[in-house]
């Protein structure tokens, strides 16, 4: 079957050829980390997530902090049934949630695997935001929480760093739709349903971050945000400098000024390779 799972619309039969994401018609997992504590505290609680890192990516940002798995690609392949069976080997009550990390390019396969999977814990769709609203609607039948990036307002910047000159249209439409589909629900400070919008402030692009915050304020009900300063220049990144303290301070004060204050706000000490998981 030809693949139109994401806005790249490659139309390739992934059994025969590879599209932009360079993944076949099997679900490929780079790594599983049980009791993963690197997500927002309302997701990890004190048990941690069952974190499943998928190989490849449909966005493939040039500055990706997980370059080894998003660009180089490695891992074990599973059919949808094998993936479902794999999940059943874990005692899920030992985790706060199932964290599907970079799942968009496997959305049809994951839908087959999980559409009638009865999970006792929330399932998190942890994605780049470059996806179709039809995909969001489809996976929302088994996904409880969307942990979604909102990377760029300016499509020229999106083109330069992620070869996606329509990023804003896709991400903003998905984010609006999720806020309607999945209103936030918490139980004992743990999110059970809803959306967290992540934004990484990029060096020399704080004005783009301000536009993103303004968009969220105007278009999303009850927004929970995660504003991140952890950008770390990697060997492959076209951006070589680090975020300046003043740049992040300006973005933080803007969030405060427009009363976007529900969520998580890093400090500049987070800008370190220590915040990049090792694979
Ligand atoms: S999921 Fe991969 S193959 Fe399918 S349209 Fe997107 S980039 Fe292309």
Q: Is 141 in the pocket of ligand 1 (CB under 6 A)?
A: no
Q: What is the pLDDT of residue 269?
A: 59
Q: What is the pLDDT of residue 74?
A: 80
Mutate-to-test residue for ligand 1 from 4, 54, 107, 109, highest number of ligand atoms within 8 A of CB: 4
CATH fold of 27-275 reads TIM Barrel (3.20.20)
Ligand 1 atom 6 nearest Cα: 6
pLDDT at 170 over 50: yes
How far apart (Å, rounded) are the C-alpha atoms in residues 208 and 214? 10
**Percent of the chain beyond pLDDT 70?**
93
How far apart (Å, rounded) are the C-alpha atoms in residues 105 and 5? 6
- Give the pairing type, strands 145-149 and 190-200: parallel
20 CA: nearest ligand 1 atom: 7
How far apart (Å, rounded) are the C-alpha atoms in residues 133 and 20? 19
Q: Going along the chain, which residue ranges are E strands?
A: 27-36, 49-54, 76-78, 98-101, 123-127, 145-149, 185-187, 190-200, 225-228, 263-265
Q: What is the pLDDT of residue 97?
A: 98
106 CA: nearest ligand 1 atom: 1
Q: Is 132 in the pocket of ligand 1 (CB under 6 A)?
A: no
Mutate-to-test residue for ligand 1 from 1, 2, 3, 13, highest number of ligand atoms within 8 A of CB: 3
The domain spans of the chain are 27-275
- Residue 141: count other Cβ atoms within 10 Å of its Cβ: 10
Rounded to the nearest 5°, which phi and psi values hold at 242?
-95, 165
Contacts of 264 by beta carbon, 8 Å cutoff, 6+ apart: 40, 41, 196, 225, 226, 227
Mean of pLDDT values over 185-191: 95
Mutate-to-test residue for ligand 1 from 4, 6, 128, 138, highest number of ligand atoms within 8 A of CB: 6
Going by pLDDT thresholds of 50, 70 and 90, the confidence category of residue 266 is: confident
Q: Going along 84-165, which residue ranges are E strands?
A: 98-101, 123-127, 145-149
Going by pLDDT thresholds of 50, 70 and 90, the confidence category of residue 223 is: very high
DSSP string, 8-34: T----BTTT---TT---SSEEEEEEEE
How far apart (Å, rounded) are the C-alpha atoms in residues 96 and 112? 23
Strand partners, 187: 190
**Percent of the chain beyond pLDDT 90?**
86
Per the CB < 8 A criterion, the answer to whether 221 and 179 are in contact is yes
pTM equals 0.94
Closest CA relative to residue 126, chosen from 207, 225, 54: 54
Q: What is the pLDDT of residue 275?
A: 43
Closest CA relative to residue 6, chosen from 47, 50, 83, 59: 59
58 CA: nearest ligand 1 atom: 7
Q: How far is the CA of 74 from the centre of ligand 1 (A)?
A: 17
Q: Is 102 in the pocket of ligand 1 (CB under 6 A)?
A: no
- Residue 166: count other Cβ atoms within 10 Å of its Cβ: 12
pLDDT at 276 over 90: no
- Segment 245-260, tens digit of pLDDT: 999 999 999 999 999 9
Q: What is the pLDDT of residue 12?
A: 97
Helix ranges restricted to H, 97-196 = 107-114, 133-139, 155-162, 167-181
Ligand 1 atom 3 nearest Cα: 19
């Amino acid at each position: 079957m030809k693949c139109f799972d994401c806005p790249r619309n490659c139309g390739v039969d992934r059994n025969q050829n590879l599209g932009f994401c360079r993944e076949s018609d099997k679900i490929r997992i780079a790594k599983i980390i049980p009791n993963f504590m690197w997500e927002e505290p309302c997701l990890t609680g004190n048990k941690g997530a069952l974190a499943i890192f998928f190989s490849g990516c449909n966005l493939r940002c040039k500055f990706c902090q997980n370059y080894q798995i998003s660009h180089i690609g490695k891992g074990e392949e599973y059919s949808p049934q094998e993936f479902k069976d794999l999940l059943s080997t874990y005692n899920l009550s030992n985790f706060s949630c199932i964290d599907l990390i970079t799942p968009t390019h496997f959305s049809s396969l994951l839908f087959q695997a999980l559409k009638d999977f009865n999970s006792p814990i929330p399932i998190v769709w942890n994605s780049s935001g470059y996806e179709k609203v039809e995909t969001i609607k489809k996976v929302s039948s088994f996904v409880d929480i969307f942990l979604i990036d909102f990377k760029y307002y300016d499509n020229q910047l999106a083109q330069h760093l992620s070869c996606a000159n329509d990023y804003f249209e896709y991400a903003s439409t998905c984010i609006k739709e999720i806020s309607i589909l999945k209103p936030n629900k918490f139980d004992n400070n743990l999110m059970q349903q809803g959306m967290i919008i992540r934004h990484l402030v990029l060096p020399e692009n704080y004005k783009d971050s301000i536009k993103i915050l303004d968009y969220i304020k105007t278009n999303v009900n009850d927004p929970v945000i995660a504003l991140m300063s952890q950008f770390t220049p990697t060997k492959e990144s076209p951006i070589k400098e680090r975020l300046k303290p003043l740049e992040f301070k300006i973005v933080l004060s803007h969030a405060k000024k427009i009363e976007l204050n529900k969520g998580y706000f890093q400090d500049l000490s987070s800008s370190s390779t220590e915040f990049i998981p090792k694979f």
